[in-house]
């Protein structure tokens, strides 16, 4: 954490713009370089990867994994927690360096469910209420929750979001699938619309947004205040700027940002695989998959695409 007092009001952003575009929290991927990149292509708000609140509040070493700067605004720090005290302490530590704090109630992974975090909370309104209350009583930074729809009873999802609203949550993001569904299954637009109609605060929709037409469909069918994209932005960071696939200028910009941020070879390689997947031949893909160092990746980009690192 390296920058303070540069915060931008997310709540004002919701007031000023009828439609908000958001980069989702993604493990490993939604870090500083990528957040800065997508802001250049129409993203209004960017989330950090999910952070474990109990580890963050206890370990100075763990806190080093979150860095921010004057270009990283507005940024929402997402925490996973099951204990209100852990979440409140983590929120207090990060508040001077964040524009918003989000409670993850949607991670569908089995390990998270066993740890009583993520989607486990989407089925437990009382626990979410307690944690939102703890954050709101500790910090003045806006607070949100990100949920999935209930696996079988949307009345419980409605109860969840209404309790969160009563505790003062500032906006809600809802993923239109339950924790058991695969990412290839259709989005439940009606569930998202029901959430939107059940509260008076802004609602963001997550799931199935890979193009501007997908975003338009989401707005038309749910009347939400904004859309969030994860895999869509990984494949095409410029999607909210109207590009059908990642332009090479965007790839080049990411390479330079990644090098400047000190991004690991592993993350650099994965991001580029996502961005270039639609234009790579099978032969090139095999070659690219074998590259194991940043210089080798840069040489490949220069040879195949004329992309140069300017640093």
Place 259 in a pLDDT band, splitting at 50, 70 and 90. very high
- 46 has pLDDT over 60: yes
Catalytic residues: 107
Q: Is 230 annotated as a binding residue?
A: yes
Per DSSP (E only), the strands in the chain are 20-23, 45-47, 51-52, 75-80, 100-105, 143-148, 171-175, 203-206, 226-229
Q: What is the mean pLDDT of the chain?
A: 94
CB-neighbour burial class of residue 29 (10 A; exposed 0-12, middle 13-18, buried 19+): buried
- Cα–chain center distance at 222: 20
Q: Which residues have CB under 8 Å from 257's CB, separation 6+? A: 33, 34, 36, 37
Q: Taking Cα atoms as reference points, which of 12, 49, 55, 7 lies closest to residue 32? A: 49
Rounded to whole angstroms, what are the CA distances from 282 to 101, 199, 247?
A: 42, 48, 20
Q: Please compute the mean of the pLDDT values over residues 98-125 and round it to a whole number.
A: 95
Rounded to whole angstroms, what are the CA distances from 113 to 80, 110, 183, 214?
A: 11, 5, 18, 30
Lowest mean pLDDT among 3-17, 208-222, 244-258, 286-300: 3-17
- 194 has pLDDT over 60: yes
Q: Which residue has the tokens 């080093």?
A: 64
Q: Please compute the mean of the pLDDT values over residues 199-209 and round it to a whole number.
A: 97
Q: Please compute the mean of the pLDDT values over residues 173-186 and round it to a whole number.
A: 94
- 174 has pLDDT over 60: yes
**Tokens for 178?**
């339950």
Q: Is 300 annotated as a binding residue?
A: no
How far is residue 165's CA from residue 168's CA, in Å, rounded to a whole number? 5
Q: Which residues have CB under 8 Å from 31's CB, separation 6+? A: 48, 49, 261, 263, 267
Q: Is 146 annotated as a binding residue?
A: yes
Q: Is 25 annotated as a binding residue?
A: yes
Q: Alpha helix locations (H) across 17-143?
A: 32-39, 53-58, 60-63, 84-94, 110-114, 125-136
**Do the Cβ atoms of 286 and 275 come closer than 8 Å?**
no
pLDDT tens-digit map of 87-106: 999 999 999 999 999 999 99
Q: Is 202 annotated as a binding residue?
A: no
Q: Is 221 annotated as a binding residue?
A: no
Place 2 in a pLDDT band, splitting at 50, 70 and 90. very low
- 1 has pLDDT over 80: no
Q: Is 202 helix (H, G, I), strand (E, B) or coil?
A: coil
Q: Please compute the mean of the pLDDT values over residues 115-139 and round it to a whole number.
A: 95
Whether the link from the prior residue into 74 is cis, omega within 30° of 0, is yes
- 118 has pLDDT over 60: yes
Place 179 in a pLDDT band, splitting at 50, 70 and 90. very high
pLDDT of residue 308: 87
How far is residue 231's CA from residue 222's CA, in Å, rounded to a whole number? 20
Q: How many CB atoms lie within 10 A of CB 109?
A: 13
Q: Which residues have CB under 8 Å from 185's CB, separation 6+? A: 177
How far is residue 115's CA from residue 80's CA, in Å, rounded to a whole number? 10
Q: Is 206 annotated as a binding residue?
A: yes
């Amino acid at each position: 954490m390296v920058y303070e007092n540069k915060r931008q009001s997310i709540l004002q952003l919701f007031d000023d713009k009828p439609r908000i575009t958001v980069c989702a929290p993604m493990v490993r991927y939604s870090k500083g370089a990528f957040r800065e990149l997508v802001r250049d292509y129409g993203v209004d708000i960017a989330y950090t990867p999910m952070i474990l609140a109990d580890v963050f509040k206890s370990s100075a070493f763990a806190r080093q994994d979150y860095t921010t700067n004057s270009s990283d605004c507005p940024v929402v720090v997402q925490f996973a927690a099951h204990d209100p005290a852990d979440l409140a302490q983590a929120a207090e530590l990060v508040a001077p360096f964040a524009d918003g704090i989000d409670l993850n109630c949607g991670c569908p992974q089995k390990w998270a469910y066993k740890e009583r975090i993520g989607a486990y909370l989407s089925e437990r309104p009382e626990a979410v209420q307690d944690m939102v209350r703890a954050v709101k009583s500790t910090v003045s930074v806006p607070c949100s929750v990100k949920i999935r729809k209930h696996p079988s009873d949307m009345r419980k999802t409605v109860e969840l979001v209404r309790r969160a609203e009563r505790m003062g949550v500032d906006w809600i993001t809802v993923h239109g699938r339950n924790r058991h569904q695969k990412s290839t299954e259709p989005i439940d637009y009606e569930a998202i619309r029901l959430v939107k109609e059940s509260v008076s605060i802004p609602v963001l929709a997550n799931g199935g947004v890979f193009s501007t037409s997908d975003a338009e469909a989401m707005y038309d069918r749910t009347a939400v205040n904004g859309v969030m994209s994860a895999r869509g932005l990984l494949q095409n960071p410029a999607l909210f700027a109207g590009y059908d696939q990642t332009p090479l200028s965007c790839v080049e910009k990411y390479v330079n940002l990644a090098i400047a941020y000190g991004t690991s070879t592993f993350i650099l390689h994965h991001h580029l695989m996502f961005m270039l997947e639609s234009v790579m031949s099978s032969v090139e893909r095999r070659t690219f998959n074998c590259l194991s160092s940043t210089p080798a990746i840069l040489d490949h980009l220069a040879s195949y695409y004329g992309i140069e690192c300017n640093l």
